[in-house]
Structures are given as C-alpha cells and as structure tokens.
Structure 1
Amino acid sequence: MANRKDFNVVVVGQNGRLQYEAALFAASFRAANPKFKGRLFVAEPQPGPKWSGNPKMGDGEVRALLERLKVEIVPFEARHFGQDYPYGNKIEMLTALPKGEPFVFFDTDTLVLDDIAQVPFDFDRPSASLKVEGTWPQIELYGPGYGAIWKSLYDRFGLDFNSSLDESQPDEYWRRYLYFNAGFFYYTCPHVFGERFLHYALEIRDNPPEELVCQVMDPWLDQVALPLVIHSLSGGREALEPGWLDGRTTCHYRVLPLLYARESDRVVKVLEEVTTPNWVKKVLKGYEPMRRMIFQGKGEKARALFDRADLPRREQAIRNRLKREKLWLR
C-alpha cells in the first residue's frame, strides 16, 4: 500500500534562467494545487568560494512573485560542486530541507498540470524520471561494456547488481540497466537521500572504478549516482506507476521551444493560462525567451512547424529546425 504522507515540493532557483523557470513552476503548481497541504520550496545557493559570482536570484520581482505564491526560499551552501558542476545543486540542497519530511524534487523546467496529491507516491520506495535516453555510459570499441561498467559501481558501494537489472531487456542494451533522468526524484527524508547522493557522487567523481577510466562524467555525474542511491534505498523503476509524472500531472519541457514544438495542446493551454494574469506576466516578461515565446507569438510559430502526430524521432532534428527558423530561444 502506498505511503500517503503529506509531503513537500522543491526546485532550485538561482540567478539567470533558473529563477524565471522557478517562478513559472510555482505559478503552475499553485494553479493546479490550490489545496496542497505541504510546503513549496525554492532552494537557493548562497555566495561562496565555489561560485565565481553571486548565484542568488537577482530579480527582485521574481522574489516578490514567489512570496505572493507562498513559496519558501531556503538557502543552502555549495561545499563540493557549485560553479564547476551546477547540477550538484540538486544534491547539496537536500539537507537544507526539513529532516524527516517526505519530499519531491523537480527540475525548474517543469510545468505542473494537475493535482500532485493524486500521484500514488510510496515515499519509502524512491524512484525518478524514466523519460531518459541512453546518454551514459558511452561504450568504447575496446573498453568494458554496459554490464561491466555498471557492475563496477554497484560493487563499489556494496549493492546487489543483479536485482537492479530489467531482465526483459537484452544483455548489453542500455535499458537493461537502471538509469534515470534526474528531472524528478523523491523519498521519505531529504537528509538520508541527500547524504547518500552526495557520498556516491563524490566517490564516483574523485575515486572512480577503473572501468570508468574512459567515461566522461560531466554532465552525467548526478544521473550516474542517482540509480545507485535509489536502488540502495529499496526503490527502482517500478516504484511509481507510469503516466503520472512526465505525463498527466507534470511536463518536463526542458526548454520552451521544445514545449511548443512537441507537447500536447493541453500542456500549451496550461502554460498560457498560468501566465495570463498580469502579476505573473510582468515578471516572466523580464526573461527574453519567455517574453518572445509566450507573449510575442514565437511559440505559436514554433508549434506550426511540427505535426505532433509525426514528430522527428530524434530530438536533435527538432532542435536543428528551430535553430534554422531562429526560434531556438533559451
């Protein structure tokens, strides 16, 4: 039976694009979840030696909008990643959240479409996004294969490798091995999850098994460590019924041109509805890609270039066409 506790939701917001995406996320979240019982956080990195500049959200109107949306801004310090690996924010911010309270993390480039309380989370069995491609590892001609690379990581942390496999998939096919997009993940305690995530990520970065010698870890480090964390905490690919997140409840759109190009009419309708109020619009217009895509009609032009029922199989083909039409804004 699902563990149906109240829970908190968190995204990371910092100076530049992410602060506007965090504002859009919060606007869509509140519109879809007017009776949400948990707390909505934006985790904000603080200035320090790991940053070359000030990473805090620099637009005062964004901060005012978040306050109006009843978002709690929680500060955290980057001690291990920061400027060199900003994806590490999603690891280091976890221990700034309330200890012992279930959480769901989302990337800021996510639109909330429906009531998140309806999602059948079992917070004792974590999972993450399966909207993923086989981006890591990259197999070298004379190097170890998928099985040897992944097994070396499970062995490093004393985890059972065989129980992580999807045996319906063929040997040496990337989907056989536990792999997630880190666009969302959840668990019953952010401190337990965060401390293990940090330990695994630092060990992989600083002391990788020899099977990883030819592997590029940036930007994939978080997605390499994440399945190991989830497996170690009794979670997995089957822990969350498919179709809820990255589906009927949320959309991980990545960048607005891709949203307009390939997402459903429902997603576009939600985007335009939540950005219609003047008090939201005037803030988001401060970010040029949002101003041009949402409010100046560039999104409609991007949408008209594609048939959602017959999209190119490769995302790169969509990107290339948008770039040719000068509609790749991010």
Structure 2
Amino acid sequence: MPGQPFNIVIVGQSGRLMFEALVFAASLRRMSPNFNGRLFVAVPQSGPLWQKDPAIRNQQVLEALAACDAVVLPFENRVFGQEYPYGNKIEALLALPEGKPFVFFDSDTLITGELSNVPFDFARPSASLRREGTWPQPTLYGPGYSAIWQSLYDRFDLDFDSTLDRSQPDGYWQRYLYFNAGYFYGSCPRAFGHRFLHYAQTIRDDPPRELVCQSLDPWLDQVALPLVIQSFGGGRDSLPLGFLDGDTSCHYRNFPLLYARESDHVVATLEDICAPNKIKKVLKTYEPIKRMVYQGRGAKVRALFDQDNLPRREQAIRNRIKSEGFWMR
C-alpha cells in the first residue's frame, strides 16, 4: 500500500551531472511507475560563486528530462558554489515546495524498484548507511572519535549520547552517527535545508577546536548531516534495511564502479533504460555512457571482478579498473 506522497530532488548542472540526472529520471519512470510525487532537477544558476555558468543549456538534455516529467528547478548559491559544489544538495532544498515530504538522491543513483513501497517515516529523517569510515581521521595524539563528534553536538546543543551505537566498541567509527549523503529525507525541505545550511556554514567558518587537524573538504556535508538528522528526531534505524541502497535504489557513483560491483539486476536496469532510441541519441554524446554501455567497455570491467567476492574497500576496486585503463569519470 503506497505511503505518504513525497517529492524527489536531485542536482543537475552542465557536464556530467546533467547526463546522470537524465539516467536517474529515466530509471525512476521505468522502475517506479506508482511514484505519485514530483521529480525536481535542481539546477544552480550563474552567479558570483561560479567561475563558469553551471546551468543546463543542452537543449536535447532538457527535452529528454521534460519527457521524463522532470521539473527543472533553478536555485541560487548564496553560501557554496564552485569551491564546494557538494553544497548544492544543501542550498537546493531551499527552492523546493515548503511543507512537502522530500527525498534527496545524488544524481549518480539508479532507481531499481518501486519507490512507493519504501516505508518512509518522514517525521524521523535518515540517510544512507552505505559508507566507509572516511571522517574523522583522528591523529595519534588525539582528540579521538568521541571528542570530535561530542564537540559538534555540543556546538549545536544536541544530545550526543543518544546517537551512539553501543553494540560497536568505543573509538570505532561505526559507533558514531555517520551517513553517506547519497540520499536523505525529511518532512519539509526548507526546514531541513535551513538547518543543514546553518550547521554546515558554522562548521566551515567556525569549527570547534577539536576539528583543527580534520579536513572538511569534501566531507563537510557528511559532517553536518547526522547533526541535522538527530536534531529532527531521526537516526540510523528510521528506515528498514534493504530498500534504498538495496532493492529500490543503487548509488553507483560512476559507471565503471557500477559494472564492477553492482548486481546483475542493476546492470540490466541501466542497459534497459539506455536502450530506447529517444534517450540513446542524447546519452551517447556523453563519453562514459557511450563507451561503458553502448560500446561494451562495461562488460570488460565486470569481467575483472567476482561480484560475490569483491575487495572490501572501494579504492582497491578503483585502482584495479584504472590499472586496466578502463577508468572513466
């Protein structure tokens, strides 16, 4: 039984992201016919924070997005931009319809099942748990994980202790609330976005002293995200496992990685949605899709790996693909 209607937002802009946005939109329409919300492709507009115009000007791409019932939604960058494009996912939220539940997906995501079957509880937001322990990286002489995360929760008067996974040992990264920002959701994009922007900008401009040795680029969005989710009463267990980053969506990150490690169903879904001539004539102008999907390089990448026995770390997969000369971005 379908749950509460919601909107979807992804970011699209000139270059790679506009083609990924089209693949996302086509997969949504093919694989989730019961989705009854609106799909917004949020597009940053030219301004002082961009050296080049980031807007989508490719008419073929725009027409193909319209054919997928995607709404192109312009937005302005007032805080982030060229220097931190990951901030687009934060500022885009402020342009969405107020008070309407939303799900944000990174554009390099494929919809592989019926999204209306996902049991979202928008009053308890959450985000992707398909992540590695990328942040923080404690130094030999400290501070450690607990002190670093505690300082952030204290900065915004949030309850740190309630976020701990006590089944994990003290000082191990999975004990602490940490997400990949490949998807996240909530009950109101503007409320979520304003808080996300406030937290991220504060951490960037006035970090706690415990962060002095920690890099925030590109991790700033993923540092602020758990704080935002906790502040709205969400957490790691808000959504049952197996739906997003599972049966209904795949955050593939790029096409060589998709072919290397994802399921046969994901590969078949990608190739199926890329096959119709109307979309093929647009996507074949993007070199990674042209070579990986239409010219068969993806199959060669897939043959390099045993998908049931992959290297544990993503970097090892990337290195193998690069060593064979098949890496594309």
**Is the TM-score greater than 0.5?**
yes
Does structure 2 conserve the Cα–Cα contact (< 8 Å) formed by 1:81 and 1:88?
yes
**What is the distance in 1 between the residues matched to 2:51 and 2:20?**
22
1:266 corresponds to which letter in structure 2? Answer: H
The DSSP-based 3-state class of the residue aligned with 1:310 is coil
Match of 1:117 in 2: 116
The DSSP-based 3-state class of the residue aligned with 1:183 is strand
Match of 1:102 in 2: 101
Question: What per-residue deviation string (whole Å, max 9, x for no partner) do you get for residues 303-325 of structure 1?
Answer: 11111111122222211111111
Match of 2:296 in 1: 297
The DSSP-based 3-state class of the residue aligned with 2:142 is coil
1:118 corresponds to which letter in structure 2? Answer: N
**What is the distance in 1 between the residues matched to 2:222 and 2:166?**
21
Match of 1:143 in 2: 142
Gaps of 5+ in 2: none
The 5-angstrom pairing of residues 162-177 of structure 1 reads 162-177=161-176
**What is the distance in 2 between the residues matched to 1:223 and 1:121?**
21
The DSSP-based 3-state class of the residue aligned with 1:199 is helix
Match of 1:86 in 2: 85
- Deviation larger for 30-39 or 103-112: 30-39
Match of 2:219 in 1: 220
Shift of 1:33: 1.9
Match of 1:69 in 2: 68
**What is the distance in 1 between the residues matched to 2:4 and 2:121?**
9
**What is the distance in 2 between the residues matched to 1:221 and 1:279?**
38
Match of 1:20 in 2: 19
How many residues are aligned here?
A: 329
Shift of 1:37: 1.1
Match of 2:188 in 1: 189
Match of 1:277 in 2: 276
Question: What per-residue deviation string (whole Å, max 9, x for no partner) do you get for residues 18-46 of structure 1?
Answer: 00000000000000122321101100000
Gaps of 5+ in 1: none
**What is the distance in 2 between the residues matched to 1:309 and 1:141?**
36
**What is the distance in 2 between the residues matched to 1:176 and 1:34?**
38
Match of 2:5 in 1: 6
Shift of 1:75: 0.6
Does structure 2 conserve the Cα–Cα contact (< 8 Å) formed by 1:261 and 1:305?
yes
Q: TM-score, normalising length from structure 2?
A: 0.99
**What is the distance in 2 between the residues matched to 1:174 and 1:3?**
36
Does structure 2 conserve the Cα–Cα contact (< 8 Å) formed by 1:292 and 1:298?
yes
Match of 2:54 in 1: 55
1:231 corresponds to which letter in structure 2? Answer: Q
The two structures, once aligned, show a CA RMSD in angstroms of 1.1
Does structure 2 conserve the Cα–Cα contact (< 8 Å) formed by 1:44 and 1:76?
yes
Identity %: 64
Does structure 2 conserve the Cα–Cα contact (< 8 Å) formed by 1:3 and 1:123?
no
Match of 1:250 in 2: 249
- Deviation larger for 212-221 or 2-11: 2-11
Question: What per-residue deviation string (whole Å, max 9, x for no partner) do you get for residues 34-82 of structure 1?
Answer: 2321101100000000000100013211101001111000110001010
2:328 corresponds to which letter in structure 1? Answer: L
Shift of 1:171: 0.3
The DSSP-based 3-state class of the residue aligned with 2:33 is coil
The DSSP-based 3-state class of the residue aligned with 1:84 is coil
